[in-house]
Structures are given as C-alpha cells and as structure tokens.
C-alpha cells in the first residue's frame, strides 16, 4: 500500500494513522524520493524503472546516474547490452541508497519483457542479486520483482514460491476499466489489498505465504463473475517447508469455463446471461478445450507425476480423475498435512486447489478428465502419455 500519502499525527498521545498502520501491516515505500522515506520510515522499499527515471530527473540524484555511467563505461559492452547493463546497475545503485534508509529490504524489478520467460526471469534475478552482493548487500535484504503480465494469457502466469517467503505485490492496471487482485495464498485486509483500482493506477501490498498449497489468484472487481469468466485468474503454488515426496514430473492445470457471444466476425466476447445461467460453451484446462489430446502430458512408468489442479470456475465443480489410474496421494488444498491415499476421483471446488500424485503403470495413454460428463464433453479431457 502507499503509505506516503498518510500525514503523521503530531499529537504524541495518539498513534498517527501511519503508526497504526505499521502495527498491523508492513509499510513499504514505493517512491524514488529518499527524503520522504527518511520522513516516514517505512520497513521496506521498492524500486521500479519509472520511479528511478523520475528520480534521475531531480537535481539531487543526478550524481547517482553519473556515477553509474562512469563506472559502466568500463564494462566492455556496447549497444543494447551496454544500456541493459547500465539500467541494471542504476536500479541496484538506487536500491543500495534506499537500504541505507530502510531497515528491511528493497525490491528491484526485472524487465517486464521477461514476463512469459521463466528462465530469462531467473537469470535476470540472479544477475541483480549478484550486483547487490558485489556492493556488499546480502541477498537477505533483496527482493526481486518478477514481471507478471496478466493480459495476453488465460490463465495468467503461474506464481511459485516457498512457504514462509514474502511476496511484495505491485499491481498495475493498464486496462480500460477497474480491476483488482486477490491471492488466496494470503491473509490480508481485503478492503485495502484487494481493492479495485482505476486504469492508470497502481497498488502495492505485501504478504507472507504462511500456508502451503495450490491456490488461485483472481480479479475480484464487481461483477466478479464477469471479470473471472473473462479469464482474470491464475495459479499460485506455495511449496511446503516440509516437502512432499519429490515428484519426477509436475504440471499445473487450471480448470475454468468459457461463456461466449460473437462480438463481430471471429472476435468473441463474454456472455453474462450464460455466466448467470451456468451454460458454458466450453470447460477447459489451461484456457483451451482438449489441448492435451493434441499435446499430451508426458511421463514414464513408475515416475511420480504431480498435478496441481486449481478450479478457477467461476461456477462449476471439477471431479478430477485419470481414466485407468489411481492417485497414490491426494493433497486437498495442496497441504501435505491433508494427505489421502488410494483415490480414484476427487472434487475441486471453484476457488480451490488440490494436488494429485499419480504413479502410472503399465505404459499407455491415460485420459485426464473432469468426470462431470458435460464438462468432459465440452473440453476438460486430455491425455497423460506414459512411456515404458
């Protein structure tokens, strides 16, 4: 949340609004202005390229930019690689300055162009951590912001973290209507963290992923049915601190419904009446009907196959099943403490996640389905191909 707009109360007998907020929530500064950071004393700070750009336009910070340019001229790089190198070092430079002011951590953003490139994001994150460490900042004080563009894919990108890790969220609305973001892996005040923001606005909040599991995140702006049925959801996986038996292969399947109307030509839009009457045209795994018939999920005999199944709904239950298979373990909610064994079919409710472990034998092509026959008929059927 942005704490910078909160003016502290002068009267010492009463807690200021900001101090009250600090009691219940970690206050994170989202600004390039060091002076306001000194004044309001947030726990953590966060940087992003637009804040850094704004800061470099101010006279008192120009020297930071100059220092980085002088230093990086010796990098031996040229062209785009040199510019990228300068930007990385500039982000870290500002991060180091912020760390002199805040007692906690600073988060630094990876390039938004890596949004759908997991390996690229990891490489970039390691590079930023390395630069911080070269400047004497331990990695414990650094958070990496990974760009995660919602628009352009259904479901949205998978977020994957370990139990106990902190997620600092910067939610940017580049759309044309109000939106919000609700993480089922969090425990936060929803009227603050999950509130809707207007186009062009952004919202920061932070939570600790205290509970392990397979969770959904989604837009919660009214009418939520309409926002979710248009694809505004994704999976957030929190690996348990006490690990499950290691999986040989794992897949995330987000099940959801499509309710469509023809807008014009081949352009489709959502049909709100169909959403209300629960008459989907398709029920799908990961956005596309029957896609794993054409591109089967692959495994080998005897391997532990882990399927993280999240039902995004917005309306229908899933009865998850592998035809010809038996689940060695089912972890409702994705929590190892909830483990069941010897299960053929298990329900996943809208908004819920369940982890399924299957150890397949003999080799063959095993249909993975939602055993609700209507859903299976209109899209939730795929193949797990088990090789010898």
Kindly list the residues in this chain that would bind Cu ion in the complex (CB under 5 A): 179, 219, 221, 227, 232
Closest approach, Cβ 214 to Cu ion, in A, equals: 22
Shortest distance (Å) from residue 179 CB to Cu ion: 3
Given the complex with Cu ion, which of 48 and 221 has the nearer CB atom?
A: 221
Q: What separation in angstroms does the CA of 280 have from each of 254, 268, 275, 311, 367?
A: 16, 14, 7, 15, 22
Cα gap 49→295, rounded to integer Å: 39
Three-point CA angle 180, 181, 183, nearest 5°: 155
H or E element, residue 238: strand 233-239
**CA-based R_g, the chain, Å:** 24
Residues written for the chain: 388
Minimum distance between the CB of residue 227 and Cu ion, rounded to whole angstroms?
3
Helix (H), strand (E) at residue 315:
none
Nearest residue (CB) to Cu ion, 232 versus 381? 232
Which residue, judged by CB position, is nearest to Cu ion in the bound state? 219
Nearest distance in Å: CB 232, Cu ion = 5
Give the residue with the Cβ less far from Cu ion, 31 or 221: 221
Which position has the token pair 């200021």? 16
Between 224 and 276, name the residue whose CB sits nearer to Cu ion.
224
Q: By C-alpha distance, which of 290, 331, 342, 336 is closest to 307?
A: 331
3-state SS assignment for residue 12: coil
Structure tokens at 320: 């998850």
**Element (DSSP H or E) covering residue 127:** helix 118-134
Q: How far is the CB of 91 from Cu ion (least distance, A)?
A: 29
For Cu ion, the closer of residues 221 and 352 by Cβ is: 221
Of 195 and 300, nearer to Cu ion (C-beta) is 195
Give the count of beta carbons closer than 10 Å to the beta carbon of residue 282.
17
What is the nearest approach in angstroms of Cu ion to the Cβ of residue 256? 14
Of 232 and 284, CB closest to Cu ion: 232
Six-digit token string for 43? 């726990």
Cβ-contact 244, 214 below 8 angstroms: no
* Smallest gap from residue 175 Cβ to Cu ion (A): 7
Task: Give every strand in the sheet of 233-239, ordered side by side.
Answer: 159-162, 233-239, 213-218, 182-183
Q: Is 289 helix (H, G, I), strand (E, B) or coil?
A: coil
Q: How far is the CB of 271 from Cu ion (least distance, A)?
A: 17
Q: H helices then E strands: how many in the chain?
A: 11, 22
Q: Which is nearer to Cu ion, 178 or 385 (CB)?
A: 178
């Amino acid at each position: 949340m942005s704490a910078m707009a909160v003016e502290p109360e002068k009267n010492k007998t009463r807690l200021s609004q900001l101090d009250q907020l600090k009691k219940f929530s970690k206050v994170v500064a989202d600004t390039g202005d060091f002076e306001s950071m000194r004044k309001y004393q947030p726990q953590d700070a966060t940087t992003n390229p637009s804040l850094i750009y704004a800061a470099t336009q101010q006279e008192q910070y120009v020297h930071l930019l100059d220092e980085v340019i002088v230093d990086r001229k010796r990098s031996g790089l040229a062209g785009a690689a040199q510019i990228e190198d300068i930007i990385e070092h500039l982000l870290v430079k500002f991060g180091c300055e912020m760390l002199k002011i805040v007692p906690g951590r600073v988060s630094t953003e990876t390039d938004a162009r890596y949004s759908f490139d997991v390996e690229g994001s990891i490489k970039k994150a390691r590079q930023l951590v390395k630069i911080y460490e070269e400047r004497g900042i331990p990695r414990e004080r650094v958070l990496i912001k990974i760009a995660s563009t919602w628009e352009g894919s259904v479901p949205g990108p998978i977020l994957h973290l370990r139990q106990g890790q902190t997620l600092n969220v910067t939610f940017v609305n580049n759309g044309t209507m109000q939106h919000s973001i609700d993480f089922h892996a969090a425990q936060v005040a929803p009227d603050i963290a999950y509130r809707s923001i207007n186009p062009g606005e952004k919202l920061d909040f932070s939570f600790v992923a205290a509970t392990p599991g397979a969770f959904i995140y989604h837009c919660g702006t009214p009418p939520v049915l309409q926002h979710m049925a248009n694809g505004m959801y994704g999976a957030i996986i929190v690996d348990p601190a006490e690990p499950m038996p290691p999986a040989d292969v794992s897949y995330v399947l987000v099940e959801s419904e499509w309710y469509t109307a023809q807008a014009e030509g081949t352009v489709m839009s959502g049909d709100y009446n169909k959403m209300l009457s629960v008459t989907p045209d398709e029920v799908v795994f990961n956005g596309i009907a029957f896609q794993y018939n054409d591109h089967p999920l692959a495994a080998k005999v005897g391997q532990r196959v882990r399927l993280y199944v999240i039902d995004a709904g917005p309306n229908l239950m899933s009865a998850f099943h592998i035809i010809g298979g038996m689940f060695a373990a089912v972890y409702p909610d994705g929590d190892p403490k909830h483990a069941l064994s010897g299960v053929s079919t298990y329900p996943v409710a809208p908004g819920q996640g369940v982890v399924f472990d299957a150890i397949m034998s003999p080799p063959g092509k095993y249909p993975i389905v939602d055993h609700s026959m209507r859903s299976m008929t209109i899209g939730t059927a795929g193949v797990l191909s088990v090789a010898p």
